[in-house]
Amino acid sequence: MRYLLFGDVHSTDLSKLERIIDESQDPIDTVICTGDFDSVKAILSYMKIKEKYEPTGIKFITVPGNHDDAVYYNRDINLSSFYSDVTIKDLHEKLFKSEKARDLMEETLGHTKKTLKLSKITSDISEHDAIIIHGALDGNMPEGFSKKNYSTELLTKEYMRDMWLRLYSDKQEPIGFVQDIEKSKENHERNFRKMEELKYRTMLRGHDHKPELAKKQHDNTSFFEPVIDRAYEFTESTLLTITPGAFQNGYYATISIEDHIRTVIYHQIEQTR
Ligand SMILES: [Mn+2]
């Protein structure tokens, strides 16, 4: 079984997915999207792909991101790092003018996380399931929420945390932002503990735009930036968190499962925006 994982679309046209699906060496069985579409155009390009490939037997799984929630509910979040001239209100109004795009958002927003029976596909021997989520089960919430749109009560809701929790953490240094390794490690450890508690062996996620692979083996948590196009193999005793990076920057990942071995490959295509 081969899964295609991508997310953090941020207005990118998704027609390039066609080539990825058509030219994949092993056929793709399931396309998994972790959201953050932003624009109606991006949503409609996704639906076009979905409508083309679903009849061929490819399954599509979509979970929403914090941006999808913000656009749908018109909750203002700072978009300045994404667009110079677009506001959430603009995106919200456009969404509500497109019945088709709004339908997909309503369908996905009803379910903020999904589980996938990765193991049951290749074997009857029970293995832990995978979870698909935009943010994480534990980690750190970004700072600077607008009190008007994000009440304390709303931020403590589980579905909201699922979409906002970050694992990658950074801190400001004189030369700019650098990864806060200690904080990132603590986030990964907390998230893995939650995965163990809920019996998930694999997490497929987005939200953090940098590609990252985190693993927990024999109580030892580590994470790294994967080399593009290199195959990483994991036996069933390893817990995995797979963050493909933003599709906005051309990143996606494929995961293959065979004889209980999960093979993960990170890919990057040209920037599509
Ligand atoms: Mn996000």
Q: Domain coordinates of the chain in residue numbers?
A: 2-268
Mean pLDDT of the chain: 91
Distance 212 CA to ligand 1 centre (A): 15
Neighbours of 159 (CB within 10 A): 15
Distance 267 CA to ligand 1 centre (A): 20
Q: What phi and psi values does residue 143 have, to the nearest 5 degrees?
A: -90, 170
pLDDT recorded at residue 82: 86
Distance 222 CA to ligand 1 centre (A): 23
More confident residue, 270 or 90: 90
262 forms beta bridges with: 234, 257
Distance 67 CA to ligand 1 centre (A): 6
* Distances from the Cα of 132 to the Cα of 32, 90, 129, angstroms: 8, 29, 10
- Give residue 111's pLDDT band: very low, low, confident or very high (50, 70, 90): low
pLDDT recorded at residue 234: 95
pLDDT recorded at residue 121: 45
Angle of helix 40-53 relative to helix 88-95, nearest 10 degrees?
40
pLDDT recorded at residue 118: 64
CATH topology of domain 2-268: Purple Acid Phosphatase; chain A, domain 2 (3.60.21)
Tell me the pLDDT tens digit for each residue of 127-169: 568 999 999 999 999 888 888 899 999 999 999 999 999 999 9
Distance 85 CA to ligand 1 centre (A): 19
pLDDT recorded at residue 125: 41
Tell me the pLDDT tens digit for each residue of 74-83: 998 988 888 8
Distance 6 CA to ligand 1 centre (A): 12
pLDDT recorded at residue 272: 45
Distance 134 CA to ligand 1 centre (A): 7
Section 183-212 average pLDDT = 96
Using the predicted structure, report yes or no on whether residue 119 has a pLDDT greater than 80: no
For 2, how many CA atoms within 13 A lie in the half-sphere containing its CB? 11
Task: Give CA angle at 239 (209, 263), nearest 5°.
Answer: 75
Distance 122 CA to ligand 1 centre (A): 32
Distance 69 CA to ligand 1 centre (A): 10
Neighbours of 156 (CB within 10 A): 10
Q: Counting beta carbons within 10 angstroms of the beta carbon of residue 177, is it exposed (0 to 12), middle (13 to 18) or buried (19 or more)?
A: exposed
Q: What is the pTM of this model?
A: 0.93
Distance 1 CA to ligand 1 centre (A): 27
Distance 207 CA to ligand 1 centre (A): 4
Distance 82 CA to ligand 1 centre (A): 12
Give me 182's structure tokens. Answer: 């200690």
For the sheet with 251-258, list strands across it: 59-62, 30-33, 2-6, 251-258, 261-268, 231-234
Distance 123 CA to ligand 1 centre (A): 34
Distance 135 CA to ligand 1 centre (A): 7
